[in-house]
């Protein structure tokens, strides 16, 4: 077992090497750091993804989710307003809403029937005045002085975000112009939900946050990507990075630049000419955005991914479950105005990504490989220098710049 309580990277200390190119493995192992992240990251000045607007279209429609390990209700209120608040009764701390989704006039805690309106405000307490003049709450008890914590909410491209911090800037400022534009490029009209998966993964949440920003691995780990030329370093594209470093959009353009034999020349396993598809129509795509980008992976710090792979669109939302585990929630999307033909194409190409996807199958285990291999190496560090040491937009995917960007914002928030 790793020595997670050895002296080292504890909140308020600083034995992390300067900069963002050396990442101590202890940050994936230490429960004290996970608790510190809950306060400084998830409950700090960030926008956490909560839901899709299409999931809560009418008054009273709600979803339950988490920011870090804090349970949250997000609900459509009066006049179309979106509210979010902690899913915790102010009385004895029980969950207020028990289902993943539903419709409610208001929310009543199952434990003692304390009732909350759609804004999360405490409305009534069962037998507040007692029965027959006996029992009940003290005379000076005031409903408006008690309740779950409330979040500010914001929307962009049909995505709903929430924050507990008054210091979080507006959503466009938080994302930065470049990443916001890349998000709107995909989510440019009303969407519909095509399907969902929930995938448990045996690794710390930050290993997945790195993975989805790690364009260096994509055509090396994923044989399908390389063999069927969905993304190769010889194709045009690059990384758009936000100024704060935490958000990115990587793009692969269908055109090839220079030699396409580099993988074979280096003997890299992911270039596999023996791999065949019986039905090549599986990869027939339409350039629906008019820019020849066939792969875009976009992240919003801390735990959201927006993915476009050919015509397969998906939201990935990942959440910590202790130091060595996480859950990954996949939501596959189409557009409300899709033709039946496009809908079939999206459903077919949904097999590219997901828990058993032709491409992303390997991502389900690679984080666990790191978690297991580094279990006794808490004082050692990972190297994040591909593409240099800077944090800036780059016209290449042979880089770890977006991983460095994640750690730039993370260290700024946590003080580690």
Residue 169 lies in a domain: no
Whether 383 and 252 map to the same domain: the answer is: yes
Whether 345 and 397 map to the same domain: the answer is: yes
Q: How many CA within 13 A on the CB side of residue 405?
A: 32
Whether 405 and 292 map to the same domain: the answer is: yes
Exposed e or buried b per residue across 59-68, where buried means at least 16 C-beta atoms within 10 angstroms of its C-beta:
bbbbbbbbbb
pLDDT at 282: 80
- CATH code assigned at 348: 3.90.380.10
Whether 65 and 197 map to the same domain: the answer is: no
Whether 220 and 321 map to the same domain: the answer is: yes
Can you spell out the DSSP letters for 212-272? TT-HHHHHHH-HHHHHTTSS-TTEEEEEEE-TTSS-EEEEEEEEE-S-S-HHHHTT-TT--
pLDDT in tens, the chain (416 residues): 333 344 445 554 457 888 899 999 999 999 999 999 999 999 999 999 999 999 999 999 999 999 999 999 999 999 999 999 999 999 999 999 999 999 999 999 999 999 999 999 999 999 999 999 999 999 999 999 999 999 999 999 999 999 999 999 999 999 999 999 999 999 999 999 999 999 999 999 999 999 999 987 766 666 766 666 666 667 778 999 999 999 999 988 877 655 566 666 666 655 666 677 777 788 888 999 999 998 899 999 999 999 999 999 999 999 999 999 999 999 999 999 999 999 999 999 998 888 887 777 778 888 899 999 999 999 999 999 999 999 999 988 889 999 999 999 999 999 99
Residue 172 lies in a domain: no
pLDDT at 3: 39
pLDDT at 2: 39
Residue 34 lies in a domain: no
Whether 260 and 378 map to the same domain: the answer is: yes
Give, rounded to a whole angstrom, the gap between the first and last alpha carbons of the chain.
24
pLDDT at 328: 97
Nearest 5°: CA angle at 332, between 318 and 99?
A: 60
Say whether the peptide bond before residue 145 is cis (omega within 30 degrees of 0).
no
Decide if 405 contacts 242 (C-beta within 8 A). Answer: yes
Whether 121 and 260 map to the same domain: the answer is: no
Residue 31 lies in a domain: no
Domain that holds residue 310: 177-414
State the Cα–Cα distance between residues 254 and 35, nearest whole angstrom: 43
Whether 129 and 206 map to the same domain: the answer is: no
| 388: its two tokens | 């240099």
Exposed e or buried b per residue across 224-238, where buried means at least 16 C-beta atoms within 10 angstroms of its C-beta:
bbbbbbbbbbbbbbb
| 353: its two tokens | 């990504």
Whether 316 and 390 map to the same domain: the answer is: yes
Residue 395 lies in a domain: yes
The phi, psi pair for 119, rounded to 5°, reads -95, -5
- CATH code assigned at 73: 2.102.10.10
Structure letter (DSSP) for residue 328: E
Residue 19 lies in a domain: no
pLDDT at 264: 64
State the Cα–Cα distance between residues 223 and 142, nearest whole angstrom: 62
Whether 185 and 120 map to the same domain: the answer is: no
For 118-173, the three-class secondary structure string (H helix, E strand, C coil) is CCCCEEECCCCCCECCECCCCCCCCHHHCCCCEEEEEEECCEEEEECCCCCCCHHH
Of 156, 187, 214, the position where a domain reaches its end is 156
Whether 201 and 104 map to the same domain: the answer is: no
The phi, psi pair for 226, rounded to 5°, reads -75, -50
Residue 410 lies in a domain: yes
Whether 184 and 117 map to the same domain: the answer is: no
Number of domains, the chain? 2
Residue 20 lies in a domain: no
State the Cα–Cα distance between residues 190 and 180, nearest whole angstrom: 17
């Amino acid at each position: 077992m790793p020595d997670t309580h050895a002296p080292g990277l504890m909140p308020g200390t600083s034995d992390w090497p300067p900069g963002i190119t050396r990442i101590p493995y202890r940050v994936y192992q230490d429960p004290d750091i996970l608790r510190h992240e809950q306060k400084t990251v998830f409950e700090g000045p960030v926008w956490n993804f909560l839901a899709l607007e299409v999931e809560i279209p009418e008054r009273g429609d709600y979803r339950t989710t988490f920011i870090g390990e804090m349970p949250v209700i997000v609900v459509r209120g009066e006049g179309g307003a979106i509210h979010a608040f902690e899913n915790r009764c102010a009385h004895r701390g029980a969950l207020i809403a028990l289902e993943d989704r539903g419709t409610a006039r208001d929310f009543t805690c199952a434990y003692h029937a304390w009732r909350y309106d759609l804004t999360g405000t405490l409305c009534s307490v069962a037998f507040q005045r007692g029965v027959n003049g006996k029992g009940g709450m003290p005379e000076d008890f005031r409903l408006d002085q008690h309740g779950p914590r409330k979040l500010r909410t914001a929307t962009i491209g049909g995505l709903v975000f929430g924050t507990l911090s008054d210091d979080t800037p507006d959503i466009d400022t938080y994302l930065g112009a470049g990443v916001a534009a890349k998000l709107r490029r995909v989510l440019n009209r009303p969407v519909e939900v095509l399907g969902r998966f929930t995938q448990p993964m045996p690794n710390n949440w930050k290993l997945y946050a790195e993975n989805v920003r790690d364009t260096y691995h994509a055509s090396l780990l994923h044989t399908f990507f390389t063999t069927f030329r969905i993304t190769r370093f010889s194709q045009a594209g690059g990384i758009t990075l936000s100024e704060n470093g935490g958000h990115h959009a990587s793009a692969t353009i269908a055109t090839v630049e220079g030699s396409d034999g580099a993988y074979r020349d280096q003997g890299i396993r992911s270039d596999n000419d023996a791999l065949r598809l019986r039905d090549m129509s599986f990869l027939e795509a339409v350039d629906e955005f008019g820019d020849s980008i066939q792969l875009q992976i976009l992240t919003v710090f801390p735990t959201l991914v927006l993915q476009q792979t050919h015509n397969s669109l998906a939201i990935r939302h990942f959440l910590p479950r202790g130091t060595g585990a996480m859950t990954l929630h996949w939501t596959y999307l189409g557009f409300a105005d899709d033709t039946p033909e496009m809908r079939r194409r999206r459903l077919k190409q949904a097999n590219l990504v997901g828990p058993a996807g032709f491409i992303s199958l390997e991502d389900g285990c690679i984080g666990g490989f790191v978690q297991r291999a580094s279990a006794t190496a808490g004082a050692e560090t990972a190297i994040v220098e591909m593409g240099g040491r800077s944090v800036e937009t780059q016209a290449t995917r042979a880089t770890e710049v977006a991983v460095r960007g994640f750690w730039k914002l993370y260290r700024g928030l946590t003080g580690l």
